[in-house]
Chains A and B, each alone.
Chain A
C-alpha cells in the first residue's frame, strides 16, 4: 500500500518533455514550464538522459549539452532509472509486442519503468508513451 501511495505521487518524464521545457519555441513550452515549476517526484530513464544529451549535442554544442546535465542535476528529487542487464528482457519484449510502432529503446525502457513503478502519469509530447494506458501530460 505504501508503494502504491508513493507511485501515485510520481510522474515519468520523457525526453520530449525535457525539450519542451528547455526550448522556448516548442508549442508545449508554456505547459511544461508550469509543470516543472512545482514538480511532483519525477522519474526518468538513463536512456532519456543520453537522448537529451545527444539532442543538445546534435542541435547545439558540447556546452549546451553540459547545461542540460546541469539542469538535471538541479532538478529536485529526480530519480534516474539505470538501464542495466535486467532491463534488457522486458524492453525487448515490449519492442517485439509493439513492433508496428517506431519505439526507441528509451521509449521501451520508459514503458517498463512506468509499469514497474506503477506510474500513471507520463510527461511526454510523444503519443507512443501512452501505449500502456498511462495519462500523457500534453
Chain B
C-alpha cells in the first residue's frame, strides 16, 4: 500500500489519482476533526472541503520532513482557527444554537453524549491537546509544532486532561449536567 507521503509527492507531480486516494483515506477523519469541534455539521463539511482544497492548492509546499497526517491536520487546525476568529467577530453566528448531533449506528447515544460533555468541560488548551492525541493520533512533537508550544507543555496538558477526564467519567452520567 502506497504511503501517504508517497501519495502527496505524486500529487505534487500532478496526479489526480493520488489526491483521490488521500481524500478517501482521510475524508472521515478530517470531517470528524471538525465535527468534534463544532456543532454545525454543514459548517464542518464546508471546512473539511476547504481543508482538502487547501491540500490540493498547497501540495507543492509539502516537504517530506513531516508526516502527511501532521501536515493535513496542521492545515485543518489553521482553517479551524481562522474560522473561530471570524466567528468571534460575528457574534450572532457564533452563538447560534447547536443542532442535534446524529449518532452513528452501533453506538450508544448516552455514551457519546457523556463523553462529549466530559470533554467539553475540559480547559480549552488541554482539550485541544487531548483531541489531537486521541482522535488525530498525532505525536507529542507534532502537536507541539502545531500549537507552537514546547513538547513538555504538551505532555503536561495531556496528562492533566486525562486525569480530569478520568475523574469526570468516574462520576455517574446523571451528574454531568450539574458539573458543567
Chain B associates with chain A: no
Interface residues of A (CB under 8 A from B): none
Interface residues of B (CB under 8 A from A): none
